Amino acid sequence: MSALGTAVVSGSDAWAMFPARIKAVRPEIQLVSTYELELENAEVRRRFAFRSGQFNMLYLPGIGEAAISISSDPDDNDSLLHTVRAVGNVTRALARLDVGDQIMLRGPFGSHWPEAEAVGHDLVIAAGGLGLAPLRPVIYEVVRHRDRYRRVTILYGARTPADLLYAHEYEAWRGAGLDVRTTVDLGDDQWKGRIGVVTTLLDSLTFDPSETRLFTCGPEIMMRFVIYAALDRKLSREHIFLSMERNMNCAVGLCGHCQFGPVFVCKEGPVFRYDRMEPFLAVEDF
């Protein structure tokens, strides 16, 4: 698992930006949409490659740029997807754009989910809220190569049923042999599923800790308690991986916004093995 960002074209400047057009916009949940982008330069588009868990910097001239995880299939060169919540100046400006509008892009950057670590083992994917977006490429990889993995379980929690991200894909994932379990903090009259935090899903899951790998992404407090629950079940620290996407502004470790302890998340992450981050996750004041 590389700890260094990679340029969109091998050997190119990490600051180099490339124009991209919005091909489609899919509303997902409140304030969240998935943007399908197409790099305008045919050669750049042909050579673009990313690994699951990596991110791009999306730049809107005159407004700024934001680090956004890539949420598409790494093997699908026709679709470059980013799932974005409109919560800041850049992302709110992006939400005002339409199909055909141009933005700028640089990347991809960052470390990736180590799917190879899970080959031949059980895999638990635990996500909360928008944290499912950087894990969706892993799910696509597992579905495409289902025979490489043993039992694969997705544990996903959201605030309400209306906040469940990518709900239209769950049945396809189940049809591919994945065990998809969801929970919400607050149900409604139509909700017949589980109510509670993601750790309750993990508590109800039977697994062999020696044969299980855990990938988790979501709010840091959620990840912390999922990891603690997994450790209580004797899962090894070396078999737990998490994504620490935090206020990444430059993608090359210069601005300092993403510093977490001694680590610059945008440069050395965002995906880390838990034993490396354990001393800093124990600090509850983020």
What pTM did the predictor assign?
0.94
Predicted pLDDT at 283: 63
The Cα 122–Cα 178 span in angstroms is 11
pLDDT at position 3 is: 41
| Closest C-alpha among 181, 243, 177, 173 to residue 215 | 243
CA pair distance 157, 165, nearest whole angstrom: 9
**pLDDT tens-digit readout, 125-137:** 999 999 999 999 9
- Domains annotated for the chain, with CATH where assigned, are 18-109 (2.40.30.10), 115-243 (3.40.50.80)
The torsion of the CA quartet 153, 158, 161, 165, rounded to 10 degrees, works out to -70
pLDDT of residue 245: 82
Predicted confidence at residue 284, as pLDDT, reads 59
pLDDT of residue 12: 57
Question: CA-based angle 68:221:124, to the nearest 5?
Answer: 75
Q: Over the stretch 62-79, which tens digit does the pLDDT of each residue have?
A: 999 999 999 999 998 778
Mean pLDDT per block of 10 residues along the chain (286 residues) reads 44 84 98 97 93 97 96 91 96 98 96 97 98 98 97 98 98 98 96 96 96 97 96 98 85 85 90 94 62
pLDDT value of residue 267: 87
Q: What is the pLDDT of residue 257?
A: 84
**Three-class SS string for the chain?**
CCCCCCCCCCCCCCCCCEEEEEEEEEEEECCEEEEEEEECCHHHHHHCCCCCCCEEEEEECCCEEEEEEECCCCCCCCCEEEEEECCCHHHHHHHCCCCCCEEEEEEEECCCCCHHHHCCCEEEEEEEHHHHHHHHHHHHHHHHCHHHCCCEEEEEEECCHHHCCCHHHHHHHHHCCCEEEEEECCCCCCCCCEECCHHHHHHCCCCCHHHEEEEEECCHHHHHHHHHHHHHCCCCHHHEEEECCCCCCCCCCCCCCCEECCEEHHHHCCEEEHHHHHHHHCCCCC
